[in-house]
Each structure stands twice: as structure tokens, then as C-alpha cells.
Amino acid sequence: MTVTEPRLASPAATNPALVRRAGWKPAAIVLLVAVVAWAIALPTLHDAPWHLFGLIPAASPLFPISIALVTIAFCVAIACGATRTAGVALVATVLMMRLPTAVSTDAPLYSWTFKHFGPIDYIQRFGSVDVTADIYHNWPGAFSLIAWINTITGSETIVIAQWFAVGAQLAFTGAVFFLARTYGYSAATALVAAFGAHLVNWVGQDYLSPQAIGFALGIVVIALVLASTRTRAASWVAVPIFTAIVVTHQLTPYWLLAAILLLTLLGRVRPRYVVAVFAAIAIGYLLLHFEVVMKFGDLINLDFLSNILTPSARNEVLGAPSIGQVMNSWIARGITGLVWVSAGAVVVVHLIRHRDTWRDIAVPAVVAFSPGLILLGQGYGGEAMFRVFLYSIPGCMLILAPVLTRMLTGGLALGRRATQVAATAVLTVVALGSIQTSYGGWFANLVTPESVRLTTQVLTEEDPSTLTIGVAPGAPGRIVAEYVDFVRANQLFDSGIDMWLTSWPGWEDEEFADPRRVKRLTDSLVWEQRPALVVITEQMRAYSAYYGTLPDGALERFQGFLDDDSRWDLVYESDETLVYRLDLTLRADSAGQD
């Protein structure tokens, strides 16, 4: 692929210090020390005791120290012109920050990871989709890919999910590097762009999901579109990749379409009419599934204030989150603000100083800030702001990478050593903030093999009309193809055990101070002859403590109500999990009797 001409001055073209090899040994030594420290700390992560502030303070202090050192190693390598060493440091940083999700857990992280297992299992077992089941079956691209991989390799979805975050983050950083190189940046500047993108990505989109696959492919599409001014075929190469994204994720292709349209108006897409091809594919597929979109969610939400609110922000106002969760949320906001404000400042300065070349900065600005258009029409289940920041990262790094590279190589007019130290310090602080944010909710999101087994057992052995009740998020759902039977029995069924009680209308602020309300619920279920299970996992307790979904003591009171009502039988008990089954043969007046 022929790369385009650089649109922002690449430091390699103006600063001979970058190409003058000052020696790779200092960076390599720091990198080696970082890897050794990380290797010593790694065994402490798996069995780290519960901590309100997450994994970082619970594990060996060598873990965050190793992350700081590997960041410094990368900066030293760039400063010394040791590009290959910088590349090794980049890969090492990704592995050191993401491998704990694979090697320090007994099951894939996050209970919501497992809701993607069911569609994959369904496709693999039946060779088709059930478009009446849910929205996932109507956007089956990623699920079909994983099912195909399982079929031809004999692997299992849970194994792929266990290692997926590592591969997804490597793909993400690789895609950003490709974007920067395609845009015309030197190898060193492209490495800085990829490194910065990795560091600031606290969003945690890299679990097994359609979005993780679609986002990485989306960056490649942007890169190919930008290359089309020199190689027109690049746009046509992007078309099938874009098509794969359209059938994979509900949001990513429409951000890409908006960005490509704006880039076309700036004259950076050839041929110009290719944007119509992208539009026909994206809009056409949406229209074919319009009824499904309207059934499972609002297509358009023009309430901007509602769209920008995240679950964390709502929880801080309406709930009682822990100090650990509040701190991690503010760290994430700090990183987000730093990236956006810095990128915006560079754009403004460029426009003031170089008005005649405004298009040069407009192109990366479009890539960076076009995701904000999402907020004008979608809340995406309260997560739109997360997606806006995630999608903005590649463009922001296109804007910031040249400046950071010049700072690290001493190419600015200011004091060389001072700017090098400042840039290294900022990147190190961001790296530490990023891992704290990423791993702050570690214990709230730690899924156990036992909960995976129990959920599978519920979906494969219980009557599909069974109501599975949890008290907080904290157990996997939709894990096997049989979840479709539960959907057919109850169209409101979404994620099995993750249908927690306090998300029901009227139960949001329930403190379980009065047993009569739980008794009335039980009476109603018995009267309806509705099979029901209550599942309480250790993860639910940790999730509630971290996010404050239940007041102190509420879960214990709820458990006590069940123990006191003879209609609820404790059918499974372990150190991690309790399962109660409703006995439909007992009347209300038998509650509490032996």
C-alpha cells in the first residue's frame, strides 16, 4: 500500500536527532528491569485479596512500578532514536497491561462478556441465526466469525474469550500504528501514536464482543480511506471491511459513515462517490432491520443531556457508590479531559499559526471529534460517552503524536531536557491512571468458574419460563444456545441471572428493610405458578459494595427473608454461591413454618 503524504509535519523530517542513533542500550536496560519486575509481581495478582480500590493496591507494588518503568523505557527509546527498541517496548507495554486479564483469572473477566457466548453457540450448533430472538442474531458478523474459528480449530468460546483482551488490544494498537503510517508519519511518530492510544484506552472495550472487532476494523477503514488520494483502490479495499463492520456492530459503522462523509467534503476521499457506496451498505442494512432496532431500543434519542450521562455519573448522583468507584471514575474523566483538551489545543494553535494549511489539521480533527455526533442522537444504553471517547482516540493520537515525538526528541524550542522529562512524566502518570481505572473494578467483575457452570446448568436444565433473579450484576447470562428458549418464553428476558431484582420498576431504591414486599413478590409468583430461582454470588456482593447498588446490609437482609420463608428452598450452597428455588406447592400461609 502506498502511503499518503504527511499532513502534519513529521518530526523525522525536521529533527535530525530522531534519526541519529544515540544508543538503544539505556532503553533496553530499563525495559528489561520493567519486565523482570512485572514477572515477579504477576503471581500476586491471581490471589490478591479483595480491596475497595481494585487490583492495583491489592497486588504487589512491583506491578504498577513495572508499568511506570516500561513507559519510561519507551520514552527513552524514542528520545534516543532507537525505533526498534521502542517497538519492542510498545508490545511489552500492551502485554504487561493486558495479560493479567488472561492469566490472573479463572474465567473471562466481566459477566457481560458471556452474553455473547449464546449467539456463538447457537450459530455453531444450528448453522443459522434466529432473527426473532434478539438484536444480536440480527448483527451476527462477529458471532459467526468466532463460531467458524471454533468449528475449524476445535477451540472453545470460553478459551478465546480468556485471551481475547490481549489480542484485541494488540490489534487496536497495530491498527493505530497502521493509520499513522498511512497518514504519512515516520515510524517513530507512528509508534508514539500507537503507544499513546494504548495508554489512554481505559474504556475496557477489549473483552470478547462485536464492538472490539468492529472498532479495530474501523480504524483500518479510516486508514484506507485516507490513503485513497494516492491509491484510489484503497477505498475499494475498505468497502468489504466496512461491510463486515455493518453486519457486526450497531454503532461503529454509522460513526465511520459520518467521518467518511466529512473527509469526502474535505477532499480526502477518492473516488468521491464511494461515500455513497458506504451509505448504501450501512443505511440499507439498518432499514432491513429497522423493526428489530425499534423493538430492542430507540433508534434516535435527541435528549443530549441524557445521552452524555454515563452510568457512573448517574450512580454518583442517584446512588451511593464506594469511594473507590468514585475515584476511578474521576481518574477516567481526567484522562479523557487531558486527551480532548490537549488535542483541541493543538488544533486551535495550528489554525492560528497556519491558517493557509487548515486542511492539514482538519483531517485528523474530523477523525478525532466526529464521534461526538453520536451524542446528538443516541445514548447507547447510557454508554454513548464511553464510545465517543473510545472512537476519538485514534484521531486524537494523530493530532498529539507529532507534538509528543518532538517533545521526547528535544525538537521543541523550549528546553530540550525539560520537555523530555515533562512528556515522559505525563505519559507515565497516564499509564498509571489507566491501569488503576482498568483494574479498579477488578473484584466486582471477577467471574468464577462455578458461576459459569451454574448458569449453564440453569439454561440447559431449567424450564425456560423460570424467572432467574439476582440481587446485583454478578453472574454470566446467555451462555449457551438454550437462552433463545428463555427469550421465546419471556420477551423481556435479556441476560438470565443478570436480571437483578433492583433493576425492576419500583425496586430501584429497595433496601429490603421490610420483609412484606419480598413476601408479596413470593405470593405473586406462587399464585402465577411461575418457577423461580434466586442466585446470590460472591461477585454480586463485591459488585454491590463497589458500585453501591444496595445499601449496607441490604443483601444480608434479603437473604434472611428467603431463609425465613419455607417456600424458598436453599438448593445449592458454597463459599461463593447460594441458589434458592421457589416451591410452588406451598401456599402463602405456610411461609415461615417448618
Per-residue pLDDT of the chain (594 residues; tens, 9 = 90+): 444 444 554 444 444 444 445 568 999 999 999 999 999 999 999 999 999 999 999 999 999 999 999 999 999 999 999 999 999 999 999 999 999 999 999 999 999 999 999 999 999 999 999 998 888 999 999 999 999 999 999 999 999 999 999 999 999 999 999 999 999 999 999 999 999 999 999 998 899 999 999 999 999 999 999 999 999 999 999 999 999 999 999 889 999 999 999 999 999 999 999 999 999 999 999 999 888 877 766 555 555 455 555 555 555 545 678 999 999 999 999 999 999 999 999 999 999 998 888 888 999 999 999 998 876 656 555 566 788 899 999 999 999 999 999 999 987 656 688 899 999 999 999 999 999 999 999 999 999 999 999 989 989 999 998 888 888 888 888 899 999 998 888 766 654 454 567 777 777 677 888 899 899 999 999 999 999 999 999 998 899 889 888 888 888 999 999 999 999 999 999 988 999 999 998 765 555 544
C-alpha cell at 369: 471529534
Is 122 inside any structural domain?
no
- Interior/surface letters 369-390, b for 16+ CB within 10 angstroms, e for the rest: bbbbebbebbbbebbbbbbbbb
Residues 463 and 424 in one domain: no
pLDDT at 498: 47
> Which amino acid is residue 351, in one-letter code?
L
C-alpha cell at 588: 402463602
Is 521 inside any structural domain?
yes
Residues 408 and 452 in one domain: no
Residues 299 and 261 in one domain: yes
- Strands lying side by side in the sheet with 577-582: 467-470, 532-537, 577-582, 568-573
Residues 208 and 320 in one domain: yes
Q: Which of 74, 317, 81 is nearest to 186 (CA)?
A: 81
Integer Cα distance of 173 and 191 in angstroms:
9
Contact 115, 209 (CB under 8 A): no
Residues 429 and 463 in one domain: no
pLDDT at 4: 44
Contact 116, 209 (CB under 8 A): yes
C-alpha cell at 435: 491501569
Catalogue the E-assigned strands of 177-268.
none
Is 116 inside any structural domain?
no
Residues 180 and 273 in one domain: yes
Residues 37 and 100 in one domain: yes
Rg of the chain, C-alpha, whole Å: 26
Is 478 inside any structural domain?
yes
pLDDT at 501: 73
Strands 467-470 and 532-537: parallel
Single pTM value for the model: 0.90
Helical residues (DSSP H) of 136-156, grouped into ranges: 141-153
Residues 155 and 35 in one domain: yes
Contact 75, 427 (CB under 8 A): yes
Strands 577-582 and 467-470: unpaired
Residues 415 and 475 in one domain: no
Is 157 inside any structural domain?
yes
Polymer length in residues for the chain: 594
Provide the 8-state DSSP code for 552: T
Indicate the SS3 state at residue 404: helix
pLDDT at 134: 87
**Grid cell 477451540 in the structure block, residue:** 155
Residues 245 and 199 in one domain: yes
Integer Cα distance of 268 and 278 in angstroms:
15
Strands 568-573 and 467-470: unpaired
Distances (CA, A) of 269 to 4, 31, 232: 12, 41, 8
Evaluate the CA torsion angle 486, 491, 495, 501 in order and state its sign.
negative
Residues 433 and 472 in one domain: no
Where a domain ends, among 396, 422, 444?
A: 444
Integer Cα distance of 186 and 540 in angstroms:
48
Query: Integer distance in angstroms from the first to the last C-alpha of the chain?
Result: 77
Is 64 inside any structural domain?
yes
Residues 569 and 477 in one domain: yes
pLDDT at 398: 97
Cis peptide before 253 (omega within 30 of 0): no
List, in sequence order, every residue forming a beta bridge with 578; answer none if it has no partner.
536, 573
pLDDT at 162: 97
Number of other residues whose CB lies within 10 A of the CB of residue 478: 30
Integer Cα distance of 443 and 455 in angstroms:
19
- Interior/surface letters 100-137, b for 16+ CB within 10 angstroms, e for the rest: bbbebbebbbbbbbbbbbbbbbbbbeeeebbeebbebb
Residues spanned by the domain of 318: 11-109+139-444
Task: Look at the chain and report how many structural domains it folds into.
Answer: 2
Is 34 inside any structural domain?
yes
